[in-house]
A and B are shown apart, each in its own frame.
Chain A
Amino acid sequence: MPHILIVGAGQSGLQLGLNLLAAGMDVTIMSARTPEEIRGGSPTSTQCMFQPALQIERDLGLNFWEEQCPKLTAQRYNLGLPPDGYPDARQTTGEAAPPWLRTEVTPFTRAIRFTGPWEHYTQSVDQRIKMSSWLAEFENRGGTVIYQGVMTSDLDSLTALGRYDLTIVAAGKGELVGLFDRDASRSPYDRPQRALSCIYTRGMTFDPEYQDWAVSFANIAGVGEFFNMPGLTVDGDGMQPCNILLFAGFPEGPLGFHAWRERLSPTEHLDRIVRAMREYVPWEADLAGDIEITDPRPSLIGGYTPTVRHPIGHLPSGGLVLGMGDVVVANDPITGQGANNAAHSAHIYARHIIDNADGRYDEAWMQATFDDYWNYAKHPTVFTNAMLGQEPPEHVGRILAAAQAGHEAGKPVIAARIAYGYTTPSDLGWMLDPDEANKYLAEVAPEFATPAPANP
């Protein structure tokens, strides 16, 4: 049986390790942090996982929190507009001031709202809980864990040692990513497109109109996006349900990188998030009267450049390593695909590794394995990059209006199709292409669709 080395102990690395262990392989994982350090650290993601990814975990017997974690049954869409009209009045040059630096704060209004029900629920288990437990589980099931933050020089001597038949790099946030060249043809951006400011909270109440758990999402004109994602997080040594709040700000907008540059205490961070909610998503702020942080390290602030990389890393001594998860495909978090991509990549890689257990894990095999993953990942990547535009294309505006009309008429067909697309991005082609969108709206829901403008 082959010896496999996995560098990185996140969703993809641990899931792959546990999957290969179950197949009887000899697996070593290198983790920069111990389970205690992971659990006691800061959040690493908002990690919403949709049904297909959850099912992968269930099939591996890794869904330890199925019952404790809130089950999110729908995706709520909102469009927030400034009271003085959309969007010209808010256009600014340079950096717009965040709400806490202005005396005048006028709440936005909700111009569009609809709910897309999911047939199967979504869940978000804090990766501090999941990864610390999976890491301990991996050791208990006979895997070897080496606690080591790996650098390129380590990897060079490790591959030169000949100890492992295959080395996978699944650590997307360290220097090792530099081993994998950016694929410019698949990476339209060269800098972060959103300033992310996320905090884990408790005490938010349900929207009086809806008494169930759901992801609530808002496009905020001229500002960015807001997400309220219920999940399961740490509570001392135990666990508790929470609301994970995330603002994704346009870089030059009022919630751009400049707004989060200061080093804030968790309570100061929460205060600013709530102030931003009062202005941009006041319907969410109404639910946040008794909000508080969940733990001493509830914040995650930063930004990622959406990047697709070539999957094979060449080390100075001639060793080859294969990248996985967000090492090779890193999407912006605004479409919530990251943890799902990680689960799908580990799932596809595991199948290829197991199928090839008697062969050699050479360069051609590595490329074929990644190509198979890319057949999945191209859909969320194209979708996410399209969503990073700051103004929705005309046909998307019509989709949203039709979805709202259907919602109001009690027939959320379009909203449900959008919600399904987030779980299964290969179904999203109709939303990205104006002609496909028009065709779909005309076929499925002519009564809700405003006619497309005639082609000139």
Chain B
Amino acid sequence: MSTQVATAEAGFLARVSRFSPPRRYLPVLGTFALFIGMFGVGGIRYDGFADPQVFLTLLLDNGFLIVLAVGMTFVILTGGIDLSVGSNVALSTLIAARTLEVGWPVAAVIGVVLLSGTLLGTAMGLLIHYFDIQPFIATLAGMFLARGLCYLISVESIPIEDGTFKTIAFGSITLPGGYYLGWTAVFALAVVAVAAYVLSSTRFGRTVYALGGSESSALLMGLPVAATKVGVYAISGLCAALGGLLFALYTLSGYSLHAVGMELDAIAAVVIGGTLLTGGRGFVVGSLLGVLVLGTIQTFISFDGTLSSWWTRISIGVLVLVFVVAQRVLTRR
């Protein structure tokens, strides 16, 4: 009996030690390990860091960035880039704040914000696909356009006083053990789940990967290249609008100087999440982890107190470098 158990155990151990995850999961696992490691170190060094509520607050504080990073993941998977998302967030907060100010119903406000964001993304996608304008330039134009529209709406910050918005902003789910998770965080996680489903299990999602693998092959395979390429920018626009709504809930204001440079954080999160900037490889879950890593760095610095805030940027830069070089080495093989 005991020998049998022992062999079974040995077999299990052997299987565990032999188990090697497919290469494509390596970057995501790396990010996951990094995140766990950082949390572990934080837990050892600082009191209260290991408290689950710290993690839950991390989700709440970065909900909008998670949604942005999800949209950016679609774009980057096709080998493109979207610089407009930060401005798009600011524009969304302003549209929401202004329309609420003049008394629109909440549903209409949300509708018009989502529509405008998606339209901006679609327009850029059309420029990119049908006129061969490089994504970098087309979305740069989108970035300027959205920022300019912000100033047209209002130069000053507009506070959001609407009751429904406030309820959503402060609402949370109580978890066992007295912990709580903000509604906006729940919403962001839902977006991640939907995106993960779309990318892994729909034809559109698989075509996104195919485009990133080789656009000319995708065309020759008869896949819907045009619709997909325009589609990812539309999705990124939609996500930016969603992110804008979450940001408006987070700050309860609309302001033209909101989210300056947030596109960089989104891109960095996607890269740190293990998505290849050349396209074709990566997962939204990775981007979620990437955002969490960025958030943890900030939590680290705020817990420490002696570290200055600029270390956030430097460490993000170093992480981007490490991931980019590692990917270069992995793909060169």
**A and B associate:** no
Could you list which residues of chain A lie within 8 angstroms of chain B, going by C-beta atoms? none
Could you list which residues of chain B lie within 8 angstroms of chain A, going by C-beta atoms? none
